[in-house]
Amino acid sequence: MLSILVPHYNFINQTLFLELELQCLSLPLDFEIIVIDDASLTPYKNYLNQFNKAYFNIIFLDKNIGRSAIRNLLAAKASYPFLLFLDGDSCIKHPNFIKNYLNFVQQNPAADLVCGLRNYPECLNKEYLLHHYYGTKVEMLASKQAFHSSNFLIKKEVFKALQFDERLTHYGYEDVVFGLTAKAKGYTIKNSDNPVIHLQLKTNQQFMADTEDAVQNLAQLMQLPQYEIILKEIPLIRIYLLYKKTGLWHLLAGLKSRLRKNLEQEKPNATSIKKLQLYKLLHLHYCLS
């Protein structure tokens, strides 16, 4: 018995829901597909009305509540003991995607949380190359061994015990904290070779803006005593704490604007990842100053 939960925002993706419907109906499976639209613009959400079927539950919010709160709301609406979360900008390529998850759960009954892979499509447009490069060189590899929220299956009772932190209203790190909290509480997390493709690439400028939002979230988390220990597992914070008492930040402060300009304009390469990490450190210092 499976509840498929999709947070939806400003992205037309009927293929995802048609594929989920097709795969679920082909299996001996009790299922539901719950989609909550987080106050998208009208042209990006009207198409959801076509999924007016018994096993679909389409909910439209009048006010945007953010990435953490919408996932908690989806779980609260779910009827079944297993929850499959998929981002609304995902693409499913494997015809046995749902079956793969069900088989994995049968073979690994002790797994409380199963994380599938996150892949990226080919990209030739230079305006989106920074996001694409980071996605393929960092996020795709991380999804093989760490938790991320774009493609994961979790037991409902485990989700109820964890929840996403709704104090985080900006983009970023809410899934990292969720995964670290699950690990700290002793829940079993497994990774599965069961990918989705992340379709919605951001422009270089938007990617950098989202990076700043994510670091701001991280700075907010650092002010919360309950996360003091687990946050030290994040490399960015470990490096920041190592150097925060030195004069390094004053020496590098002038680099911040130049780094952002370079990252937005240059063709991404291995050095770009290092520049981005330095930019994150400098922005974290800025947020905490």
List the domain boundaries for the chain. Answer: 2-201, 209-288
Give the per-residue pLDDT at 61: 98
Q: Residue 89 has which token pair?
A: 């900008």
Strand partners, 254: none
| Separation CA 254–CA 235 (nearest Å) | 23
Are 74 and 5 within 8 A, CB to CB? yes
Q: Measuring CA to CA, which residue among 117, 115, 128 is closest to residue 90?
A: 117
- In Å, how far are 25, 37, 270 from 156, measured between CA atoms? 22, 21, 40
Give the per-residue pLDDT at 248: 72
Are 200 and 121 within 8 A, CB to CB? no
Is 2-201 in CATH node 3.90.550.10?
Answer: yes
**pLDDT tens across the length of the chain (289 residues):** 999 999 999 999 999 999 999 999 999 999 999 999 999 999 999 999 999 999 999 999 999 999 999 999 999 999 999 999 999 999 998 999 999 999 999 999 999 999 999 999 999 899 999 999 999 999 998 888 889 999 999 999 999 999 999 988 778 899 999 999 999 999 999 999 999 999 999 999 999 999 999 999 999 999 999 998 999 999 999 999 888 877 777 777 778 889 999 999 999 999 999 999 999 999 998 898 8
Instruction: Give buried/exposed letters for 219-256 (b at 16+ CB in 10 A, else e).
Output: bbbbeeeebeebbeebebbeebeeeeeeeebeeeeeeb
pTM of the entire structure? 0.95
